[in-house]
C-alpha cells in the first residue's frame, strides 16, 4: 500500500476556524466522493502546543492500493477536466503554491494499538 502526505497552508484572508471548517465540512466530503482509487483519507488538524509552531496548517493523508493507483490519480485524473472540480475547490481555502507532497510506503516500527 502507498500513502501520500500533503502539507497544506491556508489561503490568506481565512481564519484558522474558517479553514478547518471548510476543509472538514466541504472539501473532505467532496474529495471522498469524487477522487478515484482512494483506500483511506485522513485530515490531520493542528493542535496548539506552547513553544511549538507547526510548519503547516494541516496535513492530508491518503492511502492507495499501490503506486499505480496514485500515479493514475496524480498524472491522469487530477489534471483532467474531472479533476478540475477538486483543483478549483482547493483554491477556495488552500494556498496551493505552498502545497508539499510526499509519497511513501509505511514501515511500522511500533504498533501498540
Q: What is the pLDDT of residues 73-86, one digit of tens each?
A: 999 999 999 999 99
Say whether domain 2-104 belongs to CATH 3.30.70.100: yes
Give the pLDDT confidence of 3-19 residue by residue, as tens digits. 999 999 999 999 999 99
- Please report which confidence band the pLDDT of residue 50 belongs to, taking 50, 70 and 90 as the band edges: very high
What's residue 31's pLDDT? 97
Tens of pLDDT, residue by residue over 101-110, are 999 999 999 9
Residue 78: per-residue pLDDT: 97
Helices (H), 43-90: 67-71, 84-90
For the chain, the average pLDDT equals 96
Burial status of residue 47 (CB atoms within 10 A of its CB: 0-12, 13-18, 19 or more): exposed
Q: Where are the domains of the chain?
A: 2-104
Phi/psi for 77 (5° steps) reads -70, -50
Amino acid at each position: 500500500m502507498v500513502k501520500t502526505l500533503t502539507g497544506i497552508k491556508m489561503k490568506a484572508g481565512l481564519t484558522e476556524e474558517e479553514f478547518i471548517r471548510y476543509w472538514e465540512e466541504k472539501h473532505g466530503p467532496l474529495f471522498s466522493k469524487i477522487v478515484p482509487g482512494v483506500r483511506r483519507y485522513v485530515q490531520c488538524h493542528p493542535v496548539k502546543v506552547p513553544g511549538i509552531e507547526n510548519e503547516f496548517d494541516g496535513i492530508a493523508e491518503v492511502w492507495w492500493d499501490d503506486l499505480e493507483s496514485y500515479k493514475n490519480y496524480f498524472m491522469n485524473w487530477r489534471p483532467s477536466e474531472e479533476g478540475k472540480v477538486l483543483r478549483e475547490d482547493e483554491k477556495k481555502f488552500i494556498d496551493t503554491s505552498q502545497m508539499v507532497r510526499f509519497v511513501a510506503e509505511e514501515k511500522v516500527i511500533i504498533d501498540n494499538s
